[in-house]
Amino acid sequence: MIQSRPDESGEPLGDAFGQLLESVRPELVRFAYWLARDRSVAEDVVQEAMLRAWRARAELKDAAAARHWLLTIVRREHARLYERKRLVTVDVTEVIAREDIALARAGDGELLDLRRAILRLPDDYREPLVMQVLGGYSTAEIAKEMNLSIPAVLTRLFRARNRLREIYGLTPGLDCEPGHDKGLEGTP
Nearer to other proteins, 95 or 148 (CB): 148
Q: Within 13 Å, how many C-alpha atoms sit on residue 150's CB side? A: 5
Nearer to other proteins, 64 or 176 (CB): 176
| Least distance to other proteins, CB of residue 164, Å | 6
Q: Which sign does the torsion angle of CA 71, 14, 54, 43 carry?
A: negative
For the stretch 100-104, contacts whose Cβ atoms lie closer than 8 Å and that sit 24 or more positions apart, written own/partner, are: 102/39
| Least distance to other proteins, CB of residue 172, Å | 8
Q: Within 13 Å, how many C-alpha atoms sit on residue 33's CB side? A: 17
